[in-house]
Structure 1
């Protein structure tokens, strides 16, 4: 078995990831109300966001201890992100009138940069959109709202969680001039996508394969954007695995590239 000589950067990422995992197991409150969670997750995301050679990233991802905890760690990170979104959604409910009122949100700049990157890639694939759906909107619908601002299209938000649906719907309803939106509580794998020429699927949505199949069944002419991750960012999210799209034949027509400011990459698909 080949012995790997770890660099200082690799060792730091591995140790930080494992230490953060232990803390997430110990702490009961994974929301921003817990200063310990704020500190360790900020440090982890900052470290993983720094540029890293793909080969070095693969070595870390294949590290025995990392592989043994990564699945559980992703579950904990999902809980922490959901708690964070709920926390800020409750803060913004009743206090925002326009999209710019979200500027105080910790990751506002990251969201704007992500959407800008996605729109630039989308323009290479699709000229315009009349109506789009965003699956897995969550309680803080910044992504679909920013997309709507850029696309000028009718927007439908989908989420299966009752609290996310309730908070997100309340936030959208209180925005001035917001008349072209709909918020629906439904499983994305059961929805009818016939009216949408564009469908976005959030990175935390677990049943992406089933949703893609449903989109194909109800609207094979739609363009689908699925948020994924590459390289070392797989320590934070599960990447899209196109080999699981066994029941539909689709082709990748575009892809964004993550950087130190944007964690997600976004893959654009059309059906053959």
Structure 2
């Protein structure tokens, strides 16, 4: 039996580990055992074991990693920690777990929304809802999105929280795209359950479908992959459609949050120029970046 109440979760003291610490090596020595212990813990769980967990246990396991991602480390110290050879070797496994957690978590949420008699209340009571809301508010603030404009969301997943909240908070109409037929089927049901089917369309396919669609702005999900192909296609489509002034939002991971997922690189967004960044506050994981085509 797996014990998700992992004791290191309680031993990691935020005050021991300061972003402006003069002795970065000492800070590395403090944080490294916690990362390595989590890596050993997660090694016990294959995909089937994670999917077999009760949602509450799955979430508790996620919070252990989440605490590591939200240590108050500056960019230099975070880079030192994540480049340490033993830690670096564990990152693919840790990041793979993070991706798997979210794929399972979103299906759990979709199923709850489809079963409840109060879908909006259920959505807002979900533990990660405040993060989604804060992330979307950051995005609205960053680019002053106009009510009634149309946004294309690449990699919307089974619960397209971003476009649900963009519509709810700012009146943004949207089309969500996903390459998973199962995700698309669930997403369509969730949108209908929330009464947003006139505002949000869900389509099966990748970013190449944007050639045939009407949109003003593009949002690329943090887990939509591979980024290099996506941005290469977006560059071509934007040029062909004459939308060279359109903005592309994407989400990436900075500082210690990069333990969760590999950051988007300059090579992956070749042909685009970054025109704005909004770094996460509190428990939000994603940095929101705005890019436009290079002139």
Tell me: CA distance 1:149–1:128, structure 2 relative to 1, closer, same or farther (3 Å): same
Q: CA deviation at 1:96?
A: 5.7
Q: CA deviation at 1:253?
A: 0.8
Residue 48, structure 1, aligned to residue 72, structure 2: no
The answer to whether the 8 A contact 2:113-2:193 is kept is no
* TM-superposition CA deviations, 1:52-90 (whole Å, max 9, x none): 232221121011111112123212221121011111111
Counterpart of 2:285? 263
Counterpart of 1:244? 268
Counterpart of 2:253? 229
Counterpart of 1:57? 78
Q: Distance in 2 between the 1:56 and 1:16 partners?
A: 20
Tell me: CA distance 1:72–1:101, structure 2 relative to 1, closer, same or farther (3 Å): closer
Residue 74, structure 1, aligned to residue 98, structure 2: no
Residue 111, structure 1, aligned to residue 132, structure 2: yes
Residue 200, structure 1, aligned to residue 224, structure 2: no
Partner of residue 87 from structure 1, selected from 93, 104, 108: 108
Structure 1: runs of 5 or more not aligned: none
Aligned residues: 265
* TM-superposition CA deviations, 1:230-253 (whole Å, max 9, x none): 01111101211122333xx22111
TM (norm. structure 2) is: 0.81
Taking only aligned residues, the RMSD between alpha carbons, in angstroms, comes to 2.4
TM (norm. structure 1) is: 0.87
- Where 1:68 maps in the other structure, the secondary structure is helix
Q: Distance in 2 between the 1:218 and 1:7 partners?
A: 45
